[in-house]
Amino acid sequence: MDDVVGCSSARAVSRHLSVPYSTVRNILRKTVHFFPYKISHNQQLLTIDRVTRLIFALKCLARIDVDASWSWQILWRDEAHFDLSGTVNTHKFRIWDTENNRTFQEIPLKSLKVTVWCGFTATFILGTFFFKEATRNGFVTCTMMAKRYKNILENFVVPQIQQQQCLDSITFMPDGVPPHIGLCVQHFLRQQLTNDRVISPAFPSTWPSCSPELNLCIFGCWDT
């Protein structure tokens, strides 16, 4: 038996010992009380990652010491893609019934999707805004690029922030997706908010890489 220690699977043990696979499984489960477990992956953290996260956290605490309402004025924002064919997220979707009725859902090879932008602070909600453009056949969903993202900010987001009368105090937090930090977007954000009120890889204040996902839109808006 020592010869099979370290075998990659129960089937490998079965082949090595010329024992039926079912026998190996019964021994593993009922005799030695072993059960199969999946390996979980998590983000590798280097020493520099921990240092960077600590420095960022200390900077945030320092800003809160100066202005207790600072964290309340962060504009959390995100985009989400919605499938127009009715496809659901099977990872979270459940059907409660007395038995498994083996429900299947047909998915088209190329399904239409719509991209939606939403943001909110502790006091108000912005959006939702849809990434779409007019064509001869009506509005169609378009790919998000830096120019389109800047247009959303300029024509919809900033005007609504101005209506809330907080453009001079709000902190904007885009992520590192290329359309969010394109040159035209950077220039526009610097004009409207200055460097100090943007948390982004393209600005002095950067959300550290390998950090936990704390975007409130993911948990409170899209429910993903």
DSSP string over the chain: -GGGTT-SSHHHHHHHHT--HHHHHHIIIIIS-----PPPP-----HHHHHHHHHHHHHHHHHHHH-TTGGGGEEEEEEEEEETT----TTT-----SS---------SS--EEEEEEEE-SS-EEEEEE-EEEETTEEEE----HHHHHHHIIIIIHHHHHHTT-TTT-EE---S-GGGG-HHHHHHHHHHH-GGGBBSTTSSB-PPTT-----HHHHHTS--
**Tens of pLDDT along 137-176?**
666 667 778 998 899 899 999 999 999 999 999 999 887 7
The pLDDT mean for the chain works out to 83
**What average pLDDT score do residues 124-148 get?**
76
With bands split at pLDDT 50, 70 and 90, how would you rate the model's confidence at 92?
low
Residue 175: inside a domain, yes or no? yes
pTM above 0.75, yes or no: no
Residue 133: inside a domain, yes or no? yes
**Tens of pLDDT along 67-90?**
999 999 999 888 887 777 777 667
Residue 192: inside a domain, yes or no? yes
The residues with which 139 forms a beta bridge, in sequence order, are 134
State how far the Cα of 75 lies from the Cα of 32, in Å rounded to an integer.
54
CATH number at residue 63: 3.30.420.10
For residue 170, what pLDDT is reported? 93
Residue 134: inside a domain, yes or no? yes
Cα–Cα distances in Å, from 87 out to 30, 91, 116, 164, 222? Answer: 41, 12, 16, 36, 15
Residue 172: inside a domain, yes or no? yes
Q: How many domains is the chain partitioned into structurally?
A: 1
The residues with which 77 forms a beta bridge, in sequence order, are 119
**Tens of pLDDT along 23-36?**
999 998 999 888 88
CA 63, distance to chain mean position in Å, is 26
Residue ranges making up the domain that contains 212:
43-86+107-222
With bands split at pLDDT 50, 70 and 90, how would you rate the model's confidence at 5?
low
Residue 197: inside a domain, yes or no? yes
Cα–Cα distances in Å, from 54 out to 10, 42, 66, 171? Answer: 44, 19, 19, 20
Residue 6: inside a domain, yes or no? no
Residue 102: inside a domain, yes or no? no
With bands split at pLDDT 50, 70 and 90, how would you rate the model's confidence at 100?
confident
> Does 6 have pLDDT greater than 80?
no
Q: Over pLDDT 90: what percentage of the chain?
A: 29
For residue 177, what pLDDT is reported? 83
**What average pLDDT score do residues 210-220 get?**
68
With bands split at pLDDT 50, 70 and 90, how would you rate the model's confidence at 10?
confident
For residue 62, what pLDDT is reported? 94
For residue 108, what pLDDT is reported? 79
For residue 3, what pLDDT is reported? 55
> Does 187 have pLDDT greater than 90?
yes
